[in-house]
Amino acid sequence: MSETTTHPATRMERYSYDDAIVRMFLFATLVWGVVGFTVGLLLALALPFPSLNGGIEWITFGRLRPLHTNAVIFAFAGNGIFAAIYYSTQRLCKARMWSDTLGRLHFWGWQAIIVSAALTLPFGITQSKEYAELEWPIDLAIAVVWVGFFGVNFFMTLVNRRERHMYVALWFYIATIVTVAVLHVFNNLWVPILSPTMIKSYPIYAGVQDAMMQWWYGHNAVAFFLTTPFLGLMYYFLPKAADRPIFSYRLSILHFWSLVFIYIWAGPHHLHYTAVPEWAQTLGMVFSVMLWMPSWGGMINGLLTLRGAWHKVTTDPVLKFFVVGITFYGMSTFEGPMLSVKFFNSFTHYTDWTIAHVHGGALGWNGFLVFGMAYWLAPRLFQTKLHSKKLAETHFWVATVGILLYVIPLYAAAVAQMWMWYSLTPTGQLAYPDFVESTQAVIPMYYFRALGGGLYIVGSLIGCWNFYKTWRARPATYEVPVYEAPPLSAVEVTPERPPQSDLGMVTDSAKALDVFSSMWWHRAWERMPVKFTVLVIIAVAVASLMELIPTFVIRSNVPTISTVTPYTPLELAGRDIYVGEGCYNCHSQMIRPMVAETKRYGEYSKPGESVYDHPFQWGSRRIGPDLAREGGKQSHAWHVQHFQNPQQFNEGSIMPDYSFLMKRDLDFDSIPLRVAAMQSLGVPYPQYEGDDLQRSKADAIAQAEQIHKEFIEQNLGQPYVDPKSGEQQDLSEKKVIALIAYIQRVGTDLFKTPDASAEESLPPDEAAEPAPIATEPSPPEPAKTAMLSEP
């Protein structure tokens, strides 16, 4: 092992810690936590009570769901991460953060990003990519704040540290910062649009490639934003709270490197039985199952750190939070690999099992660790006693009961959904053909879920009151201790040397393996932050490239279909409305090749069907039925009435009122910009090249007028009448017409007759595949169903 010596005449440096920035991030953590949890409770209530939004478009489920996830992940957990890193890094490095100014820019920049999310997402300004919904100006701000402020400040602190070796928590912080930066940049490559009327972007990826890139990002956002930094938090604060060293140094090394390398491969398990290539799905499944081992290695390392200190758990609320949080981590990291196995995934995907799994991790693992850390930090940051240990105990028990009452009913709901979605009669027909039957069956579980979420919020409010009262008891002026340590440059280092093996009567190779397994070589990496960071980047990059490159470069992965053509300008605008309303949060557009799904929804989805979908809209949950073959199933009049009053045509539906779509004007002037953006992505619009781009607006107006004409015919010759004002409205200029145009198009290309002349113009080796023969009848022509002028 290396040795360090300090010359007696070495000048000692004086330094102090910047705890003010930690207090700022801790305060933000608590505030945003309550906000994020409250929005979640509103969403939980919106499912059994779909009219809860009162017809207000800004608080529909589809718009608020991404606000909730962003608030909990990036506002609550994010600020908690920063509080932990700013506190522990200074102590582990024996150095103040490199720049107080960068720390403040980081804090205020991150809060501005959160506020921007709160202002844009309810207005439907979204990219619709899960955990990456924020639009391009905010994406740029995230990159600047994360890399330019936070990253620079952290790594410069490592460079200027006074402690030679980097403790294990710092390893996880390094992996978090560099990997999140890589994930954010490559998942957010887009063509931006900025006009007086909209902020919009289209990702450079489409369909299968976009799905692969998104879940490479989405799964690893969970890995490197909600896992690795919290493991760093665990490795620092748990030994501090227990007053015990970490159980195993070698286990922490194995835990770290295997987690960093394996986690990055696991994304495709979110896409089992979809149009993603089979090899990619299998790869994701295999690495996800492998991920169970290092994950449980970390859990075991954490829990065994409490050896000899378990008696403290009964009296210390901090350790209670930590123990339950680590236990939830173990449960989630067992459940995740299990759900990645294709057999289990075939039933659980799209159900509420996923929601229970995610919340068990976010509220159980992340939430409990944050609150445990906050209770440990509060007396130290505010330099006074915790206001009430009894209130902390109450917070713990209320939150524990709340999270259990939240997830258990959702598991029950998932079992009911699986049973009703996939059950067949002895004659091979669907046992529950109406999707709404399954929706109504799980409503009682949604009541319990909302109750559990409410209890979790009550616990959080108790904690916030406790912290507030502790803060009120702070001294008039905080004491700022000054420490002394020699600069790192003055400390001599003896390079690490391998130990001697104690094994006898074995081969030389066995002795060499014994020496290697002592991991003496890792100590050298721990004093070289630049080398360590480069090794982390290599591990992440190799795994990412091996997963993603084949999908992008092998043509056979996404065979083309001759009948699949770009959306018309109006359909493109309607698709953007679909994205903005967050319809993907409730509806999938991916029919898997399973008997029950093809019987319920139609022909299974093909890779080539989504080649013009920027972004893809496959979804990850079914609160409503799949829409991949929705085009042509219903009349325009049916869709208008359905948006106005979903329960009128689907009794028991939990879809909210979308009557505002009949009132909001469609921005026809922006359509040429949308088409131009698609052209820059390679989508073929030869009819709109050059000076002909403005024709796209005229064509959109013409199609809107044609759909409106058909709507009136289907509505017994009557125009739309607003049910509240009683006034007639021309829908040809409203958003609803564009959305209907898109919905009527979805899934119909597969059933078109191929254009022989277009196919003959291609070289023989580039001729597109013909549309597959459908196993279900082609979608019917829209029925002329009358819609009443009055509801």
Least confident of 61-70, 321-330, 500-509, 534-543: 500-509
Share of residues in the chain with pLDDT > 70 (%): 94
Look at residue 555 in the predicted model and tell me its pLDDT.
65
Least confident of 238-247, 378-387, 719-728: 719-728
* 162-177: b (≥16 Cβ within 10 Å) or e: bbeebbbbbbbbbbbb
Give the predicted TM-score (pTM) of the model: 0.92
Asked whether the beta carbons of 92 and 166 are under 8 A apart, the reply is yes
Distance between CA atoms of 49 and 447, rounded to whole angstroms? 10
- Name the more confident of 382 and 545: 382
Share of residues in the chain with pLDDT > 90 (%): 80
521 CB-contact burial (10 Å; exposed 0-12 / middle 13-18 / buried 19+) = exposed
Would you list the DSSP string of 196-252? TTEEEEEES--HHHHHHHHHHHHHHHHHHHTTHHHHHHHHHHHHHHHT---S-HHHH
Look at residue 338 in the predicted model and tell me its pLDDT.
94
Contacts of 157 (CB under 8 A, 6+ apart): 89, 90, 93, 95, 96, 97, 98
CA angle 207, 349, 401 (to 5 degrees): 130
Asked whether the beta carbons of 469 and 387 are under 8 A apart, the reply is yes
Average pLDDT over the chain reads: 91
Distance between CA atoms of 330 and 336, rounded to whole angstroms? 10
Distance between CA atoms of 267 and 212, rounded to whole angstroms? 8
| Per-residue pLDDT tens over the stretch 422-454 | 999 999 999 999 999 999 999 999 999 999 999
Look at residue 727 in the predicted model and tell me its pLDDT.
87
Asked whether the beta carbons of 75 and 32 are under 8 A apart, the reply is yes
* 119-132: b (≥16 Cβ within 10 Å) or e: ebbbebbbbbbbbb
Distance between CA atoms of 369 and 327, rounded to whole angstroms? 11
Which ranges of 264-349 would DSSP assign to H, the alpha helix? 278-304, 310-313, 317-340, 342-348
| Per-residue pLDDT tens over the stretch 215-265 | 999 999 889 999 999 999 999 999 999 999 999 999 999 999 999 999 888
What is the DSSP-derived secondary structure letter of residue 556? G
Helix (H) or strand (E) holding 676: helix 671-680
Rounded to a whole number of angstroms, the distance between the first and last alpha carbons of the chain is 80
- Please give the average per-residue pLDDT across 750-773, as a whole number: 52
- Please give the average per-residue pLDDT across 577-582, as a whole number: 96
Look at residues 780, 696, 781, 786 and name the one whose alpha carbon lies nearest to residue 738.
696
Asked whether the beta carbons of 85 and 235 are under 8 A apart, the reply is no
Helices 168-187, 228-242: crossing angle, 10 deg rounding: 160
Would you list the DSSP string of 697-727? HHHHHHHHHHHHHHHHHHTTT--EE-TTT--
Distance between CA atoms of 373 and 396, rounded to whole angstroms? 13
- Please give the average per-residue pLDDT across 483-494, as a whole number: 86
Q: Tell me the backbone φ, ψ of residue 12, rounded to 5 degrees.
A: -90, 140
Q: Please report, for residues 35, 69, 446, 759, the alpha-carbon distance to residue 38 in angstroms, rounded to integers and kept in the order given.
A: 5, 12, 16, 55
| Per-residue pLDDT tens over the stretch 641-670 | 999 999 887 888 999 999 999 999 999 999
Three-class DSSP labels, 166-205: CCHHHHHHHHHHHHHHHHHHHHCCEEEEEECCEEEEEECC
Distance of CA 711 to the CA centre of its chain: 39
pLDDT at 768 over 80: no
Look at residue 497 in the predicted model and tell me its pLDDT.
86
Look at residue 498 in the predicted model and tell me its pLDDT.
87
Confidence of residue 784 (pLDDT cuts 50, 70, 90): very low
Look at residue 496 in the predicted model and tell me its pLDDT.
82
Q: Tokens at residue 206, please?
A: 């489409």
Location of structure tokens 């505030």: 31
Look at residue 506 in the predicted model and tell me its pLDDT.
86
| Per-residue pLDDT tens over the stretch 584-624 | 999 999 999 999 999 999 999 999 999 999 999 999 999 99
Contacts of 122 (CB under 8 A, 6+ apart): 58, 59, 63, 64, 67
| Per-residue pLDDT tens over the stretch 92-142 | 999 999 999 999 999 999 999 999 999 999 999 999 999 999 999 999 999
Location of structure tokens 């100014």: 101
Distance between CA atoms of 402 and 449, rounded to whole angstroms? 9
